[in-house]
A and B are shown apart, each in its own frame.
Chain A
Amino acid sequence: MFAQLTSALDFHGKALVLRAERQRVIASNIANADTPGYIARDLNFRDAMANATLAGASQGAAPSSSPPDARHIPLASLTGELGSGSSLGYAVQTQPSMDGNSVDLDRERGNFVDNAVRYESTLRFINGYSKTILSAIQGQ
């Protein structure tokens, strides 16, 4: 029964983990803005999200190592299946630089702010949904 209540939260939960991953990648780019020879990376969010939801759908029926009990709540391992390494691509270089650094600091700043706002909006969606479920449980 709990799976039906919390299944809509799975999507936002995965989105939150991926947004945190992307935040880390952008922070690494900003930290290495002066390092010679550093190539800027970025997370392809659409592909990573598609992989995560697809992996979750196919793995939802697979049982864990212990025999499944009716009272166990199935939890998917997020970091394993999200596999951010596969969607980690290279950012397109805008201006050539003499020391081989391909970080465009303005674009990274813009991406950082964009990602931070989307992270916060995902938090608000999760909050709103959990409050709705709670008020339904309390019967108001």
Chain B
Amino acid sequence: MSMFSIFGVSGSAISAQSQRLNVVASNLANADAVAGPDGKAYKARQVVFETVLMDSDASAGVKVNAIREDQSPGRKVLDPNNPSADAEGYVTHSNVNPVEEMVNMISASRSYQNNVEVMNTAKTLLLKTLQMGQ
């Protein structure tokens, strides 16, 4: 029945959005990490969403296709006294942009709330359908 597949669709959406929140949390936690002398700092991660057809053309769920690392170079700060400084005295920080991550977090949480509301409404309507005729 059409209404039951709504749970699959919205379930896939909240799962994908929670993975996105997970990635945002990882990025924010590692925002101040510095690299070792080899220069390999933490690179910010982003999720890539992809539509996945559930059973027919009308049911389109979503899944996380891949988690990509942002390849832009990390911020270099001149600090020769730091034990993690490289040969020229620069310390490489991560390339996480905290403002962007906060915007991502707000968008992910709004999407999550919307999809939870869709599931609740579908559940209410199905329960009322079960009581039809009584």
Binding site for B on A (CB under 8 A): 16-17, 20-21, 23-25, 27-38, 41, 43, 84-85, 88, 105, 109, 112, 116, 119-120, 123, 126-127, 130
Contact = CB atoms under 8 A, between A and B. Distances in A.
Nearest to B56: A85
Contacts of A20: 1-3
A124 to B, nearest CB: 9
B2 A21 contact: yes
23 contacts: A17-B2, A23-B2, A23-B125, A24-B3, A24-B5, A27-B118, A30-B115, A31-B115, A32-B51, A34-B20, A34-B62, A34-B107, A35-B49, A36-B48, A38-B51, A43-B58, A84-B58, A85-B57, A88-B57, A112-B121, A116-B121, A119-B125, A123-B128
A116 B119 CA distance: 12
Given A28-B58, A31-B10, 8 more contacts: A16-B129, A20-B3, A24-B5, A30-B13, A30-B114, A30-B118, A34-B62, A85-B58
B128 A23 contact: no
B94 interface: no
A125 to B, nearest CB: 11
A20 B60 CA distance: 15
Contacts of B115: 30-31
Contacts of B21: none
Contacts of A31: 9-10, 12-13, 60-62, 115, 118
B59 interface: yes
Contact of B9 (A16, A28, A41): A28
A32 B132 contact: no
A24 B49 contact: no
Nearest to B118: A27
B122 interface: yes
A126 B111 CA distance: 34
Given A24-B3, A30-B114, A112-B121, A123 B62 contact: no
Contacts of A127: 132-133
A32 B49 CA distance: 9
A33 B50 CA distance: 11
Contacts of A84: 58
B6 A23 contact: yes
